[in-house]
Structure 1
Amino acid sequence: MSETANATETEGEPTSEKLVELAKRRGYFFQSSGSYGGVGGFYTFGPQGAALKGNVEDAWRDRFAVAEGNMEIDAPTIMPEPVFEASGHLEGFDDMLVECPDCGESHRADHVVEDDTEYEDAESLPIPEVEEVIAEYELVCPSCGAGLAGQAVEAFNLMFATNIGPGDSQPGYLRPETAQGIFVEFPRLKEYARNQLPFGVTQIGRAYRNEISPRRSIIRTREFTQAELEYFVDPETDEPDLERVENVEVALYPASEQQTDDGEVIETTVGAAVEEGVIGDPWVAYFLGVAKPWYESVGVDMDRFRFRQHLSGERAHYAADCWDAESEIDGNWIELAGFAYRSDYDLSKHAEHSGDRFTVFRQYDEPKTVERATVDPDMSYLGPEFGGDAQTVVSELEALAGRDRAAFEGDAVEIDLEGETREIPVEKTGFAVEEETIAGEHVTPHVVEPSFGVDRLVYTVLHHAYREDEVDGEERTYLELPPEVAPTFVGVFPLQNDADLEAQADEIVDDLREAGLSVSYDDSGNIGRRYRRQDEVGTPFCVTVDYETIEEDQTTVTVRERDTTAQKRLSVDELAETLTAIREGDLAFDEL
C-alpha cells in the first residue's frame, strides 16, 4: 500500500494534446454530438469537468458577488432584436472572414495573419490592411494550402439569429454576452439597490457567438459560459478603496511596452501602477487587484499570468481603458478576462432606444437655487403661421432655450425647421428665465466591467495543473488542482474485497459526504491502480481502509496526499473534521 513519498517531477512542458486526451478519457470535456459526427465549437463537460467548472463558478461568486456585496441575477439567453440594435451588436459585432477559393472553407482572416506572420494583434487592423498583409505574405488556406491573396475579407456578424413566437414572430438573438441582460434591467435593478450608487450586479451564464473557425478545444467555442460583473458608479463622486489592493503584486504589459521592439512585462504593485499612471483608471486597477489573488487561488500559475492593456486599435470606442487577464498555454497567451471602463455608453444607448429612464437621482447635500430658461409660445401665432409643424416649433424652441439663452436676446429667434431657417418674434416665444430650487439631479452611471471567460479558465487551470513524474519506478500523470476547486476532494478505498473492510469504507463515505465533502468510492483493481486513477483526475486525498482499521482498538485509516504521495494514519472519528479543515485552508497535511 505504501509508496515512495519523494516523487520526482519530470522535465518538459505538458502539451495541450496530452491534456485534451486526458480530458476525454477521464470525463473533463469532449466534443458534443459525437454520435452524429460532432459539431465544431460545441463541447460537453463530463462529470469531472462539470464539477470543476461548478467549483470555479462558486469560487467566482464568493469573491465577486458575496465578498464585494454585489447582487446576482439570471437573465434569459434569448433577447429581442431592439436590445442588440441599441447595444450596437447588430452593426459592429463582427469578425473578419476570408473564404478559400478552392475548398470553400471559411477562416478568421486575422488568425490566418497571426499564425504565419509577425503580427500579434491582427484583429485591431482595418480590413483593407489585412487584405494587403495576406497578399504581401502570400498566405494560404490552413485547410488545403490554396493561396488566399486577392480574396475579399468581409465582416461577419457573430450573433445567432432566432425567432420569438409563431407566425409573424419577433426577431431575436442568442445573447453574445451576459452583460446586456444586466443593462436592459437597470431601471428595475436600481430600485433593488435603493437608488444608491455605487452598486454591482453579477451574472454567470451562457453566451453564444457563431465563431468563423472555433479551435483549440474549449478555448474558442460557439457556446460558452461567462461570469460578468457590471459595477455602476457615479463618475463625479465614487472612488474605489484602493488601499485594499494597493500592495497586490501584478505583472503588467502596458500598450507602451507592446509598441516597442524590446517591450517587457512590468512587475509592480497596483498602488504603484496607479500612482505612476500605468493603469489610468482607478476602478480598473481595483478590480485587477481583486482578480489577481483570486486567479492564483483557483490554480492559475502566476509565472504564466499577466495583465495586458488593449492597444488603441482593439479597444472599443466607448472604453476609456481596458486590460485583459492572460495566461500562457504552450507558448501562446490567451485571454481569460477583460476589465473595461465602459463609461455611460450602454445605459445611454438603452435609454435612447427604449424611452425608459436609465439614471439615478443624486441628492444634493443642500438644495440649490438655479436659473432655468423656459418658453411659453403664443399658439394663436404659431398655429396659423406654422400649421401642422407648430408643435415641432415648440420643441425646437424648448431645446434652444435649454442650450443657448443668448439666441433670445434680439427681436427674433431663428430655428431650423426641416432644413429651412425660420424666424419667430421673441415676444411670441414666451421666453423667460426663472429661478428654481432643486434637491438633486439625475445622473447616468458609468460602468466598470470585469468580464471572465469560465471555459478558458477551466482549461488554463487544468493545463497549469498537469504534471508527469515517477513514483516507485512507474510513470505517473496527475493534476495538481487546488483542493477548493478539485472535482472530487477525497477517494475512499477498501484495501481488498472484504465485507468488513467494505462496510467500514461505506460508513466513512457517508460521514464525509454528510460533512459536505465530495467523495469517490472505488473498490476496483489493486490499490496502486486506484491511486493512479484518482491522481489523474486531481483528487487531493485518498483514504484507504485496511485491516488495521478494523482490528486495532483505535480505528484509524491511511490518508494519502496526491502531490507528494505521503501517507499518514488518522483517526476515523476525526477524519471528516480534519479533511474539512484542510479543504478550508485552516490546516496543512504536513502539519498532521
Structure 2
Amino acid sequence: MSNAESEPPETGEAIGEKLTELAKRRGYFFRSSGSYGGVGGFYTFGPQGASLKGNVEDAWRDRFAIAEGNMEIDAPTIMPEPVFEASGHLDGFDDMLIECPDCGTSSRADHLVEDETEYEDAESLPIHEVEEIIAEYELVCPECGAGLAGVAVEEFNLMFATNIGPGDSQPGYLRPETAQGIFVEFPRLKEYARNQLPFGVTQIGRAYRNEISPRRSIIRTREFTQAELEYFVDPEADEPNLERVEDVELTLYPASEQRNDDGSEVETTIGSALEDGIIGDPWVAYFLGVAKPWYEAVGVDMDRFRFRQHLSGERAHYAADCWDAESEIDGNWIELAGFAYRGDYDLSKHADHSGDRFTVFKQYDEPQTVERATVDPDMSYLGPEFGGDAGAVAEELEALAGRDRSAFEADAVEIELEGETHEIPAEKTGFAVEEQTEAGEHVVPHVVEPSFGIDRLVYTVLHHAYREDEVDGEQRTYLELEPEVAPTFVGVFPLQNDDALEEQAREIVADLRDAGLSVTYDDSGNIGRRYRRQDEVGTPFCVTVDYETIENEETTVTVRERDTTAQKRLPVGDLAETLSAIRAGEMAFEEL
C-alpha cells in the first residue's frame, strides 16, 4: 500500500509562483529569448511542455475533428489586408490603452479597473465610462505610482502589421485568430464537403495579438495556439443531435445571474438548460455538451470549471449567443474557450468584399415555380446620367427589386448610393415580375464556432494537477496529469549502475517505445531521487529493473504508480500490453 498522504491543492498566488518555477526548471515553459533579456508575451515550450501541448492538441483533434467527422486545414498565419478589412479586424479589433504621463508605461485601462475596483467586466464598458472610473477611484500607474486621473484612454489595434513581398509590397497582418483562414477558403472547402450542409472545418495553429500588457505567464501572451472549429449549418433545416449530450451536467453562469448582486451559478443539464431558455441556441448547447466531458478527460478540475454567458456589452454584435468555458486559477476565473453562434456575418462580409460566392446551392426535392422581381435598366439613360456610377446604380436597382417590390410602384424609384439619394424614372428601370422554375436556391450558411485556447488550457491542466504531499517522511511535489496528456507515460530505471541491469532496462525501453508509449530512461542518482524527478514532471508510472528481474526464473519488474506510490511486480513479457491498456483506459492499475 501507499505511504503517501495527499493534501488538497493550495489556493492563492503561491501555486502560480511554484508552478512557474517548476515549469522553468523541468522544461515545461519559460520566457523566450532570455539571453537577450526576454520579450514580454513570448514563451518557449520546453521538452515537457511541447509534449504536453502536443498531446492536448491531439486529444482535441480526436474529439472535435475525427469523432465529429470534420475536416482539418492548415492555413497561412499571414494574410493580406483586404481579408481583415472584410472581417472587421482593421476597424474593430482594439483594446483600451492608457499611457502613464510620468514613466510612459502602457497599460490596459480595463484591466486596471478590474484589478483595483469592484468592476468585473470593464472590457464591455465604453471608453468614457472607463475614464470616469479611473478618475473616481484615483487609479495609479502600476509601474511608478503616478496618478492616471484625466489621462485619455485610447483604442489600440492588436494586430501585428507586416509587408508581403519587396518594393511596393502588399500590406498584410499576422492573423489574430485562425478562423479567418477557414472563412476565406469557404468557396473551395464547400466543394470538398460536396456542397452538403452541415459540415465542419477545424484548424489548430498560431495566432498573434500585440497585447498591451501581457501577464500571468502563458495565460496572456502575444503569440499563442488556437484550436477552432467553424461549423457551417443551414439555419432553416439543420439541427444538432441533442440526444447525445442532453444529460451532460453543467455548471452555468448565465448573464441574468451575473447582473444580480446575489446571482450565483446554476447546476443543470444540457436538456434542462435549453428547455428553461438559459441557453438560447441548440447548436451552442450541443458543443457545450461535447466540450465539458472532454475538458474533464484532459485533466481540468470540474470543481473549478464553468460556462459563463457573455453579457450584452461584451458579446460581438453578430453573435446571437456566446458562452465562455472558464477555469478557476489562483482565485480568478480565466477564459479557456468561446462558443458563439456567429450567424452569416463572416461569410456575407467576405462575399461582399471579395465578389466570390460564399453560398451553398440547396437542391429542392422537386422543382418549384416562384415569382421573381427583375430589372433590366436602360443603360442608354443611366450612362449619361450617372457616368462611371451607372453600373453601381444598376446593381442597387437589382438589390432593391429583390427586397422591396413596392418601391417600383411609383413614377420614380429612389436609391441610395454612397450616402446620396437618387431618383430614376420607373420606366427606365425595366422592372418586371416573372414566373421562374427553380431547382434550388443558394443558401448563406450560418456559423457555429467553438474556439479553444490551447496555451491557457495547458496552464490550467498543470495548475489543477499540482500536488504536494509527504512520502516516507519527505515532502513531495507531483503533477497528477491524466495519462492521455502526460508528456512521458513511463520512466524506466535500473536499480543500480550494473551492466546487466542497464542492458535489461534498455531492452524494456525499446519494447515499450515499439508499443507506442512515451518512455524516458534514467540511471542518475538513487532510486528515490529518480522517482521524485518523474513525479514532478507528471510521469504516471515508473518501472524499476532490479536483481530479481535478472536472477529469478520468471522475469518481472516493479511498476510504481505516481499518485499513490503503490508498487506491483509484473512480468516483463506482459509489460507493454498492460501499460498500453492502462493508458487507453481499458484497465486500472488497481486491478492488476
Name the TM tier (shorter chain).
Answer: over 0.9
Q: How many Å apart are 1:366 and its aligned residue?
A: 1.4
* 1:396–1:415 contact (8 Å) kept in structure 2: no
Partner of 1:456: 456
Partner of 1:564: 564
Q: How many Å apart are 1:230 and its aligned residue?
A: 0.4
Counterparts of 1:19-30 in structure 2, within 5 Å, are 19-30=19-30
Q: How many Å apart are 1:435 and its aligned residue?
A: 1.0
Amino acid at match of 2:138: E
Partner of 2:214: 214
Counterparts of 1:288-437 in structure 2, within 5 Å, are 288-377=288-377, 394-409=394-409, 412-416=411-415, 419=420, 421-422=422-423, 424=425, 426=427, 429-437=429-437
Partner of 1:587: 587
Hey, what's the Cα distance between the residues in 2 that align with 1:417 and 1:455?
Answer: 48
Partner of 1:104: 104
Q: How many Å apart are 1:389 and its aligned residue?
A: 6.4
Partner of 2:265: 265
Q: How many Å apart are 1:374 and its aligned residue?
A: 2.7
* 2:209–2:222 contact (8 Å) kept in structure 1: yes
Q: 1:353 to 1:550 in 2, by over 3 A?
A: same
Amino acid at match of 1:561: E
Amino acid at match of 1:154: E
Amino acid at match of 2:172: G
Structure 2 residue matching 1:203: 3-state secondary structure: strand
Amino acid at match of 1:228: E
Hey, what's the Cα distance between the residues in 1 that align with 2:526 and 2:423?
Answer: 95
* 2:408–2:426 contact (8 Å) kept in structure 1: no
Q: How many Å apart are 1:433 and its aligned residue?
A: 2.3
* 1:239–1:282 contact (8 Å) kept in structure 2: yes
Q: 1:591 to 1:150 in 2, by over 3 A?
A: same
Hey, what's the Cα distance between the residues in 2 that align with 1:131 and 1:380?
Answer: 57
Amino acid at match of 2:232: F
Amino acid at match of 2:2: A
Structure 1 residue matching 2:132: 3-state secondary structure: helix
Hey, what's the Cα distance between the residues in 2 that align with 1:137 and 1:271?
Answer: 44
Amino acid at match of 1:234: D
Q: 1:88 to 1:408 in 2, by over 3 A?
A: closer
Deviation string 1:343-376 (CA, Å, 9 cap, x unpaired) is 1101100000000000001111211101122334
Q: How many Å apart are 1:421 and its aligned residue?
A: 4.6
Q: 1:435 to 1:57 in 2, by over 3 A?
A: same
Q: How many Å apart are 1:146 and its aligned residue?
A: 1.1
Partner of 1:479: 479
Structure 2 residue matching 1:15: 3-state secondary structure: helix
Counterparts of 1:202-281 in structure 2, within 5 Å, are 202-281=202-281
Deviation string 1:111-132 (CA, Å, 9 cap, x unpaired) is 1111110011111111000000
Alignment of 1:7 onto 2:8: no
Hey, what's the Cα distance between the residues in 2 that align with 1:480 and 1:504?
Answer: 29
Q: 1:505 to 1:117 in 2, by over 3 A?
A: same
Deviation string 1:508-538 (CA, Å, 9 cap, x unpaired) is 0000000000001000000000000000000
Q: 1:438 to 1:486 in 2, by over 3 A?
A: same
Hey, what's the Cα distance between the residues in 2 that align with 1:388 and 1:120?
Answer: 53
Structure 1 residue matching 2:134: 3-state secondary structure: helix
Hey, what's the Cα distance between the residues in 2 that align with 1:588 and 1:353?
Answer: 56
Gaps in structure 2 of 5+ consecutive residues: none
Structure 2 residue matching 1:258: 3-state secondary structure: helix
Hey, what's the Cα distance between the residues in 1 that align with 2:323 and 2:449?
Answer: 11
Deviation string 1:542-570 (CA, Å, 9 cap, x unpaired) is 00000000000000000000000000000
Hey, what's the Cα distance between the residues in 1 that align with 2:38 and 2:421?
Answer: 62
Q: 1:348 to 1:8 in 2, by over 3 A?
A: same
Hey, what's the Cα distance between the residues in 1 that align with 2:182 and 2:532?
Answer: 45
Q: How many Å apart are 1:378 and its aligned residue?
A: 5.1
Partner of 2:83: 83
Q: 1:525 to 1:368 in 2, by over 3 A?
A: same
Partner of 1:164: 164
* 1:28–1:46 contact (8 Å) kept in structure 2: yes
Deviation string 1:6-43 (CA, Å, 9 cap, x unpaired) is 31123533610000000000000000000001110000
Comparing 382-391 with 477-486, greater Cα deviation is found at 382-391
Structure 2 residue matching 1:123: 3-state secondary structure: helix
Q: How many Å apart are 1:404 and its aligned residue?
A: 3.5
Counterparts of 1:178-193 in structure 2, within 5 Å, are 178-193=178-193
Q: 1:126 to 1:574 in 2, by over 3 A?
A: same
Partner of 1:67: 67
Q: How many Å apart are 1:381 and its aligned residue?
A: 6.2
Q: How many Å apart are 1:97 and its aligned residue?
A: 0.7
Amino acid at match of 1:91: D
Q: Under a length normalisation based on structure 2, what TM-score does the superposition of the two structures give?
A: 0.96
Q: How many Å apart are 1:420 and its aligned residue?
A: 5.9
* 2:397–2:415 contact (8 Å) kept in structure 1: no
Q: 1:202 to 1:9 in 2, by over 3 A?
A: same
Partner of 2:175: 175
Length, aligned pairs only:
587
Amino acid at match of 1:424: P
* 1:97–1:153 contact (8 Å) kept in structure 2: yes
Partner of 1:536: 536
Structure 2 residue matching 1:191: 3-state secondary structure: helix
Amino acid at match of 1:240: P
Counterparts of 1:473-512 in structure 2, within 5 Å, are 473-512=473-512
Counterparts of 1:515-530 in structure 2, within 5 Å, are 515-530=515-530
Hey, what's the Cα distance between the residues in 1 that align with 2:186 and 2:369?
Answer: 30
Hey, what's the Cα distance between the residues in 1 that align with 2:264 and 2:237?
Answer: 35
Comparing 122-131 with 362-371, greater Cα deviation is found at 362-371
Hey, what's the Cα distance between the residues in 2 that align with 1:389 and 1:41?
Answer: 48
Q: Under a length normalisation based on structure 1, what TM-score does the superposition of the two structures give?
A: 0.96
